[in-house]
Amino acid sequence: MKKARLSLVVMAVTALVLAACLGPSVAAGVPGVTDKTVTIGGPMLITGPIAVLGTAAADGLAIYWKWVNDEGGVHGRKVKCLMVDDGYNPTRAVAAARKLITRDNVFGFLTTSGTPQTLQLMPILEKEHVPALSGIVPSFPGIMKTLPDMFTFGMPYGDQIVLGIDYFIKDQKKKQPTLGIIYQDDAYGKEVKRGMDLAGMKQLRKVYKKYRPDIKDIQHYHILGYLNSLIFNEALERSGRNLTRPGWIKAMESIKDFYTGGLTGAISFGPNMHSSKCQGRVFKADLEKKRWVPVTDYRLPSVQ
C-alpha cells in the first residue's frame, strides 16, 4: 500500500515537472503551440484556374515568416506556416482544412483560399473554434459580424468596383461612362458584379530580394500574402508569450489604426468589427514600364 502511494506521488511530481518544463501554453494544451514553435496554415489555390494568383500569395506568406523566424520569431517561438493546395476547389478546400485541423493541429488559419472555398470553410472553422484571418478574400463584411473566430480585411470586391466608378465619374468627370465586366460565374464573380513607393513597400521589397531574388516583378497577390501575415503576426505579438486562441482573438480586436507602411489604409478591428473598414486607391496601368501607378490617394467608396 505504501509502495502504491509512493508511486502515485512520484507520478504526480513528474507530471508537474514536465508541465513546468514545457511551459504554460503546452501544459494548457493549446493547439499548434509548443515551447519553441507555433504552427499556422490554411488551404491555398496553388494549382487550378487562377494558380498564378495563389502561388504569388503563397510566396508572400512563406517569405514573410522566413524573415520573422530569422529575426528571432515571435516571443521566442518560430512560426511554421503550412499551406495545403486546394486547386481552387471547395471540396478539396474542405479536405485540406480538416487535415490541417485534425492531423497538423494548427493554431489558426492564415488563409482560407478563394471566395467559394471560404464559404464552405466558415462553418467548419466556427464549429472547431479555429481562429482565422483571410485578407485574400475580403468579401464578407456582413457575415463576419456573426463569426466570433474569423477576421478579414481589405475592401470588399463590390466596393472596389464602386471605387473605380467613383473615379470615372468624380475625378474624370465622365457623366455616362460605358463599363464592361468580365466575371467568374461563382460567389467571387457575383460579389464583383454586385458593385456595378512607400515605407511598407521598401521593407517588402527588401525581404523579397533577400529570400526570393528570382521574383523580379512583385504583383498584387505577392503583397497581399505578405500583408496577411503582417497583420496575423501583429496579433501574435500582442498576445504575449502565453499564447491562446481566445487571447489571439482579443489581440486582433485590440488593433486600432494599424499602420502598414502604406501597403493599405489604416487597419482597425474591434469586438463587433471583425471586418476592417479599409480604404482603397485607384491605379492605372503604365504599359511602357509594365507597372501599376496610383492615381488617387486612399479613400472610401461613395456606396458601401
pLDDT in tens, 47-79: 998 899 999 999 999 999 999 999 999 999 999
- pLDDT tens per residue across span 103-137: 999 999 999 888 888 889 989 999 999 999 987 65
Under DSSP, is residue 274 helix (H, G, I), strand (E, B) or coil? coil
Listed as own residue / partner, the contacts of 186-191 with beta carbons closer than 8 Å and 24 or more positions apart are: 186/115, 186/116, 187/115, 187/116, 187/119, 187/139, 188/114, 188/115, 188/116, 188/139, 188/157, 191/115, 191/139, 191/156, 191/157, 191/158
Phi, psi of 54 (to 5 degrees): -65, -40
- pLDDT tens per residue across span 160-181: 777 777 887 788 888 777 777 7
Q: Mean of the per-residue pLDDT values for the chain? A: 83
> Percent of the chain having pLDDT more than 90?
46
Buried b (16+ CB within 10 A) or exposed e, 290-303: eeeeeebeeebbee
